[in-house]
Chain A
Amino acid sequence: MSGPGGRVIGTGALLRLAVRVDRVRLPFWIVTFAVITGASAAATAELYPTAESRASFTDGAEAVPALLAMYGHIYDPASLGAIAVLKLTGFGAALAALVTVFTAVRHTRAEEEAGRLELLGAGVLGRYAPLASGLGVVAGWSVLLGAGTTAGLALVGLPVAGSLALGAGWTAAGLVFGALAVLTAQLTRSARTASGLAAVVLAAMFALRAVGDSSGPGWLSWVSPIGWVQQVRPFAGDRWWVFVLPMACTAVLVAVAVACARIRDHGAGLLPGRPGPARAGRLLGGTGGLAVRLTRMSLLVWLSAFLLTGLLVGSIASDIGEFLDNPRARAFIAALGGAQGVTDAFLAAELAFAGLFASMYVVAVLARLHEEEQSLRTEPLLGTAIGRVRLLAGYLGLAAAGSLLGLTVAGAGAGLAYGAHTGHVAAELVRVTGAALAQWPAVLVSLGTAVAVFGLLPRFWVLAWAVLAFFGVIGEFGVLLGLAQWILDLSPFSHLPRLPGGTATATPLIWLTVVGAGLAVAGLIGFRRRDVPA
């Protein structure tokens, strides 16, 4: 343990262990990224075959701050590739970052918190070996992700250099946030807090570049690692020198993480733990209260995110009218959204996003229950005088109420911000909030699906996320990919009325609710009949 090599001894063994544990998960993500990227880029490219159509698209997209905030700029209107990957670059970088955040924490702090690392640490294992292997896993995965993405784009006929620039950009995003997560893993004792911290930074970085690209100041985009990926300008100049920034940032983060690892104890974080209450508060009187207590931080983060998104969407919607002196933009947005007003079309599209986020929230709540069961923590609860129905009902109630609250807050935020601009605050508040709540029946279908998987197929819990991802892909890319109508119809979100602006029809809302309730009941019956795993 004396030489510098001794401090990372055992890293290879840990790396092999990590690859063994993640042998399905990590390749799955790479293949999914490569396939969706290639297919989506090819589908977008087909829409704009001529230089003129691309110029027209660019004019429209560059005129709408909301689109700039979401996707960033088009740096070369003549480049087919730049337009083909417009919707992918920023979101793909953020998603790659999210994967590396969770992967890095899973192989460092989560192992330590579970006590498994202690078992290994008693062997010949250097102090920095867990950190090094965590970094190794995310670095290896990021490089393979970049290679897969490059191949996916090149295979559909885009220039190789630009494909490589985008692939390397995602690699860079994965590296920066993987290193950040290795750092946050040194700070807290809880894996959940560690990944939460890193994810909040990621969201903030995405927001920074959204502001930088839309309302400005433009230098904000240069503060954000997600912005760097876009500043590489794949297919529009391929500015390789930009990669200096993520490389330097990764190096600094790793250095800080190593410094933190040096001064902390095994199992401890840098942030000290504090004693808590000796008695339970009134909240901890039932399963619903327990679910709220266990997830209160994440509930708070979700609700703030819903509110901020709503306010942002509402204020961007207010600006849309000012850009309408360009007739091509008007045509563009009308084509993008639907019939009624350009603004309403924009609001409806954004509220559909809020519906998808609310679905992510409900699946996350049920995921928590699943995790509680896997960690043997439902066993003492079921050993008391509560039945399984009450246990599940606690989490079900939290998910339903939390998503309803989230949609209300998002709708109210958008209505307030937009109403403040038009001067009809009360009217817009009611109208837009109502439109947001119309998403809820589709969220209930996602909730029902999660409950059904939990009750009937607990060993295949990942299905709950897979179904949600399927809904998301259909909503974002379904029409673009030219999927058959019956496939589009499989997502509950395809059946919602487009609100505000469209015709509000109660029928789909009612039967979506019925489907959601039916799935939940099936899951409940399954949970009552099955074994609780030990």
Chain B
Amino acid sequence: MTAAIEIEGLRKSFGHTVALDGLDLSVRAGEVHGFLGPNGAGKTTTIRLLLGLLRADGGRMRLLGRDPWRDVVSLHRRLAYVPGEVSLWPALTGGEVIDLLGRLRGGLDPRRRERYLHRFELDPTVRGRAYSKGNRQKVALVAALASDVDILLLDEPTAGLDPLMEEVFRECVREERARGRTVLLSSHILAEAEALCDRVSIIRAGRTVDTGSLDELRHLARTSIVVRMAGPPDGLAALPGVHDFGRDGDVVRMSVDNTGLDAVLALLGRCGVRSLTTKTPTLEELFLRHYRADTPAVTA
């Protein structure tokens, strides 16, 4: 797999504010990559740097093998971008904006344009000032999806969409992946990332704190286990890798490092088990693990 986006040690400051402090990001060609982080973590700054709107202070950055600052025009023929905050021209209609952006990118497929207008239920005759936030977002989405490009940069694209439209958006992204396009999806809606992304990168305060597929990320995390015991769980709490141990009658709760699962299950088998519930961590739990102030990140 070749890399569609390759970023190493990217730094950017605005005055005294450090936005990116050595960010790394690697997006493989053809994958949907989730770019996760809370507000102010540096997601939008990274995307604006990839678009050549901002100039990096340091680090290395490659988009489709080229320099995003210097090869703006040739790169932009191959990418489409949906900003998180879509600002439209008050006097232009949605249809006009879609055509304008398509033409400036080098043309767009009229059939795809019609299809996406239909799917997103967007009226192209409304002027920019009259669209709601969600509909402004749809204008940008249709303009991006209807163009024939290799890579989509989507910055929190579903902010403002209703659940039905969000489902349409997810279908569209899956179709794009099936067509072999690369998608960088910045989001803080973790369910969305979990449903769509092949791999994710989690950033905090301008740095990447974790990256990989969801399975890989889970591998480093703990599984939470709730067991109704048949006998007393002697020695369970002392096993290596067992945390947050708690007991309420014959019900035992704990979270276990994945490396300690073998030993825990063996001991449970010896003690006798009436019922067992295990829960692999959701992305949300992985995410929160990196952001809780009181728990330091436990990346191995």
Contact = CB atoms under 8 A, between A and B. Distances in A.
Contacts of B80: 383
Interface residues of A, number: 36
B126 to A, nearest CB: 6
B231 interface: no
A385 B77 contact: yes
Contacts of B104: 286-287, 381, 384-386
Interface string A270-309: 0001011111110011110010011000000000000000
A273 B153 CA distance: 33
Interface in B73-103: 73-74, 76-77, 79-81, 83, 85-93, 95-101, 103
B81 A380 contact: yes
A380 B83 contact: yes
B87 A532 contact: no
Contact of B100 (A280, A376, A382, A531): A280
Given A275-B126, A385-B77, A294 B89 contact: yes
A189 B123 CA distance: 20
Contacts of B72: 382, 387-388
A293 B86 CA distance: 20
B101 A380 contact: yes
A534 interface: yes
B211 to A, nearest CB: 25
Contact of A277 (B96, B103, B153): B96
A332 to B, nearest CB: 49
A383 B91 contact: no
Interface in A369-407: 375-377, 379-388
A301 to B, nearest CB: 15
B125 A532 contact: no
B95 A277 contact: yes
Contact of A190 (B51, B74, B91, B126): B91
A529 interface: yes
B96 A383 contact: no
B223 interface: no
A529 B56 CA distance: 11
B103 to A, nearest CB: 5
A62 interface: no
Contact of A379 (B53, B74, B97): B53
Interface SS, B side: mixed
Given A382-B53, A531-B54, A279 B127 contact: no
B48 interface: yes
B243 interface: no
A113 interface: yes
Contacts of B91: 190, 293-294
B100 A290 contact: yes
Contacts of A385: 73-74, 76-77, 104-106
A507 B95 CA distance: 50
A87 B127 CA distance: 45
Contacts of A279: 95-96, 99, 124
B92 A113 contact: no
User: For B95, B96, B99, B129, which residue has the most chain A Cβ atoms within 10 angstroms?
Assistant: B96
A382 B99 contact: no
A377 B88 CA distance: 7
B95 A278 contact: yes
B103 A285 contact: yes
B95 A280 contact: yes
B267 to A, nearest CB: 55
A383 B73 contact: no
B55 interface: yes
B87 to A, nearest CB: 4
B76 A113 contact: no
Contacts of A280: 95-100, 103
A189 B129 contact: yes
A532 B54 contact: yes
A377 B123 CA distance: 21
Contact of B130 (A273, A293, A381): A273
B134 to A, nearest CB: 14
B69 to A, nearest CB: 10
A197 to B, nearest CB: 15
Interface in A194-252: none
User: For B85, B90, B101, B140, which residue has the most chain A Cβ atoms within 10 angstroms?
Assistant: B90
B281 interface: no
Nearest to A290: B100
22 contacts: A113-B129, A189-B129, A273-B127, A275-B123, A275-B126, A275-B127, A276-B92, A277-B93, A278-B93, A280-B95, A280-B97, A285-B100, A286-B104, A377-B87, A380-B86, A383-B51, A383-B101, A385-B73, A385-B104, A386-B76, A386-B104, A531-B53
Given A277-B125, A386-B104, 8 more contacts: A275-B125, A276-B95, A380-B101, A380-B143, A381-B104, A384-B101, A388-B72, A534-B48
Interface of A: 113, 189-190, 273, 275-281, 284-287, 290, 293-294, 375-377, 379-388, 529-532, 534
User: What are the 6 tightest A-B residue pairs by CB atom distance, in nearest-first order?
Assistant: A280-B99, A383-B81, A276-B93, A384-B104, A275-B125, A278-B95
